[in-house]
Amino acid sequence: MSVNVNQVLVRTSNGNEQRLGEYNGQVLLIVNVASHCGFTKQYKGLQALENTYGPKGFKVLGFPCNDFGGQEPGTLSEIQKFCSSTYGASFTLFEKIHAKGKTTEPYTTLNQTEPAGDVQWNFEKFLVSKEGDVINRFKSDVEPDNDELKAAIEKALLD
């Protein structure tokens, strides 16, 4: 099933609603993030991806999530401060969401991506085309510097 995120409404860091379609024309990597996880060091790599590919039309969108082992207990301002001071991460963070069970957007929509089902852990990644179509889903253990992930980003930027 093809999944498109253009009509998905999410809440920005200041509580406003925003449609993901506002990012049309850019390739997106949507990631559920957590500050107290074994994968938390990926913040640095995610920022490196945005630094490398951002000028070509790429953005990382982070959605803090406390669904997995209570590994993101902080407020959004605490999370932003931690990401910035610890990992130099400045990519866009949204309000906290639920990625499993009774999900909230964007995960109600993203979890329909094949293989369909709830996100399994923190730092699962969804690659979205310039047109808003989800084109790939990467599990948590796929590091931001993974060759397959980078090749998929590069291909999406050329399409």
Question: Do the domain assignments include residue 140?
Answer: yes
pLDDT score at 115? 85
> Could you tell me the residue range of the domain that residue 114 belongs to?
9-158
Q: Can you tell me the mean pLDDT for 130-151?
A: 97
Question: Do the domain assignments include residue 108?
Answer: yes
pLDDT score at 1? 58
pLDDT score at 114? 85
Contact 113, 134 (CB under 8 A): yes
> Would you call 37 a catalytic residue per the annotation?
yes
Question: Do the domain assignments include residue 1?
Answer: no
Is the overall model pTM greater than 0.85, yes or no? yes
Question: What is the domain count for the chain?
Answer: 1
Question: Do the domain assignments include residue 2?
Answer: no
Q: Which residue has the tokens 């089902």?
A: 117
Tell me the per-residue pLDDT of 5-60, one tens digit each, with 9 for 90 and over. Answer: 999 999 999 999 999 999 999 999 999 999 999 999 999 999 999 999 999 999 99
Look up the CATH number of the domain holding residue 126. Answer: 3.40.30.10
Q: Where are the alpha helices (DSSP H) in the chain?
A: 42-53, 76-87, 107-110, 147-158
Tell me the per-residue pLDDT of 71-126, one tens digit each, with 9 for 90 and over. Answer: 999 999 999 999 999 999 999 999 999 999 888 999 999 999 988 899 999 999 99
- What distance in Å separates the CA atoms of residue 35 and residue 84, rounded to the nearest whole number? 11
Question: Do the domain assignments include residue 127?
Answer: yes
State the catalytic residue, choosing from 28, 37, 49, 83: 37
Question: Do the domain assignments include residue 69?
Answer: yes
Question: Do the domain assignments include residue 4?
Answer: no
Q: How far is CA 137 from CA 18, 29, 128, in A?
A: 22, 10, 9
pLDDT score at 4? 96
Contact 146, 29 (CB under 8 A): no
Question: Do the domain assignments include residue 66?
Answer: yes
